[in-house]
Amino acid sequence: MFDVIIAGCGPTGAMLAAELRLHDVRVLVLEKETEPVSSFVRIVSLHMRSIELMAMRGLLDRVLERGRQRPVGGIFAAITKPAPQGLDSAHAYLLGIPQPVIDHLLGEHAIELGAQVRRGCAVAGFEQDDEGVTVELADGERLRSRYLVGCDGGRSTVRELLGVGFPGEPARTETLIGEMEVGVPQEEIPAKVTEIHKTNKVFSLGPFGEGVYRVVVPAAGVSEDRAQPPTLEDFKQQLRAIAGTDFGVHSPRWLSRFGDATRLAERYRVGRVLLAVDAAHIHPPAGGQGLNLGVQDAFNLGWKLAAQIRGWAPEALLDTYQIERHPVAEDVLDNTRAQMQLHAIEPGAQAVRRLFTELMDFDEVNRYLIEKITAIGIRYDFGGGPDLLGRRLRDIDLKQGRLYDRLQGGRGLVLDRTERLSVEGWSDRVDLIADPAAALDVSAVLLRPDGYVAWIGENQRDLNDHLARWFGKPAD
């Protein structure tokens, strides 16, 4: 008997398993692939909020060793604008990292914490009752768990079996993307790319380091069978059609295609079965938000599901997973829709793109869009109060170290500058730091395990009410 079975060992499934293991939850992760994908070396970007979460769990050094930092500007619809000064994060950069590497690092982290991972195991069916979920594997084996979480992709078996609607729009356009070397002098490329960009915003051919270029071209005219991976010849054909040359591309690292399908699950939870990442939402890759959205789902869900299993969750705490994360996904779907429109080649779309390009010269517009894409602008609705309430707190200096270093255990935290507050009754779930010198503009805050500010004030009774709201009844 497991506490939680997770279908899918991508970054979100692995991160969720690790978050649950911080609370001694018995976790089994099922992955249908028999081996980790190592040949598919697509580079993904960790955004500011995801980098902060890595720091909060002591993973940042590992990730930084394997990634490449780059400026955070130019991520909205690939409109080239520098990032504004003074972004509200100690990690105001993007981190490019090969997807197999982040998959491995997060999977390794989960296993180190005690999660079990079984490969070559696909969920074929399940039945739930008042006590748990019986999961049937493709080979007929049956497993029992208290909860099941589907992190099994856009064609999620868990979601389909659950009968949850997945409304939205099917793909209308297809795009090829890959990384490969070029066979022409590299100094000839920028002028050609600039000329093409005047009429085709989908096209991209840019250096990615070590002589490798990332190539993005429309897929129109290429086989419509998405089950068939694109070939190098497909890329050459599209490059010749758009640029009049194939730039001598050769030696591809990876080749793929994506569409602009946009869908959002109607519900994230039905009884003891929950959905996350692509099982809950799919959207175009504009702005590079997909992996980040999923990992942030895991951080939101992990401590709440653990609280339910450990028996101290307040009533309806688990329901706040959908209440908080569903609107965030809606916003991501909307901003990717908008970005895809700005990539369209029609005159009207290009006129709007030119207008956005002008508007982003205003610092507040540029800042707003960057905070939206990188998720540091999220504010959950915790009721009325100061602007900081419902937002994540950036990493700040304490008299002993940094704030995020004190969040690695996945517990709540009261940071008290008054030195008068207590967490008595909740000390098994919440830590207390009394630090009058903390770089904080308010008297005290209550942080949830995911780093969001759940209370601001200095009154003990008021704090106790909010401790009970988020962390349940005090211990006897």
Question: 187: domain CATH number?
Answer: 3.30.70.2450
Tens digit of each residue's pLDDT, the chain (476 residues): 999 999 999 999 999 999 999 999 999 999 999 877 655 557 789 999 999 999 999 999 999 999 999 999 989 998 989 999 999 999 999 999 988 899 999 999 999 999 999 999 999 999 999 999 999 999 999 999 999 999 999 999 999 999 999 999 998 888 898 889 999 998 889 999 888 877 777 788 988 777 889 898 988 777 666 667 899 999 999 999 999 999 999 999 888 888 889 999 999 999 999 999 999 999 998 899 999 999 999 999 999 999 999 999 999 999 999 999 999 999 999 999 999 899 887 889 989 999 999 999 999 999 999 999 999 999 999 999 999 999 999 999 999 899 999 999 999 999 999 999 999 999 999 999 999 999 999 999 999 999 999 999 999 999 999 999 999 999 97
Same domain flag for 159 and 281: yes
Same domain flag for 287 and 149: yes
Q: What's the structural domain count of the chain? A: 3
Question: 63: domain CATH number?
Answer: 3.50.50.60
Pick the last residue of a domain from 331, 354, 373: 373
CB atoms within 10 A of CB 235: 24
Same domain flag for 278 and 245: no
Amino acid at 271: G
Pick the last residue of a domain from 226, 259, 292: 259
Q: So what's the pLDDT on residue 17?
A: 98
Same domain flag for 440 and 339: no
In a domain, 387, yes or no: no
In a domain, 390, yes or no: no
Same domain flag for 134 and 25: yes
Pick the last residue of a domain from 220, 238, 259: 259
Q: So what's the pLDDT on residue 258?
A: 82
Same domain flag for 322 and 463: no
Same domain flag for 278 and 247: no
In a domain, 396, yes or no: no
Same domain flag for 275 and 228: no
Domain span at residue 445 reads: 404-471
Question: Given CA atoms 89, 105, 111, 129 in this order, what sign does their dihedral have?
Answer: positive
Cα separation, 31 vs 6, whole angstroms: 9
Q: Is the Cβ–Cβ distance between 119 and 33 less than 8 Å? A: yes
Provide DSSP, 321-378.
HHHHHHHHHHHHHHHHHHHHHHH--SHHHHHHHHHHHHHTTSHHHHHHHHHHHTTTT-
Q: So what's the pLDDT on residue 372?
A: 97
Q: So what's the pLDDT on residue 228?
A: 75
Cα separation, 250 vs 233, whole angstroms: 10
Q: So what's the pLDDT on residue 225?
A: 63
Same domain flag for 36 and 129: yes
Question: 462: domain CATH number?
Answer: 3.40.30.120
CB atoms within 10 A of CB 113: 17
In a domain, 441, yes or no: yes
Residue 350 CB partners (closer than 8 Å, separation 6+): 201, 344
Beta pairing partners, 168: 263
Same domain flag for 186 and 141: no
Cα separation, 143 vs 28, whole angstroms: 10
In a domain, 386, yes or no: no
Same domain flag for 99 and 7: yes
**pTM greater than 0.85 (yes/no):** yes
**Burial code of 376-408, b = ≥16 C-beta within 10 A, e = fewer?**
bbbebebeeeeebbbbbbbbeebeeeebbebbe
Q: Give SS3 for 274.
A: strand
Same domain flag for 64 and 148: yes
In a domain, 354, yes or no: yes
Q: So what's the pLDDT on residue 207?
A: 85
Cα separation, 366 vs 358, whole angstroms: 10
In a domain, 203, yes or no: yes
Cα separation, 398 vs 416, whole angstroms: 11
Q: So what's the pLDDT on residue 159?
A: 98
Q: So what's the pLDDT on residue 138?
A: 93
In a domain, 220, yes or no: yes
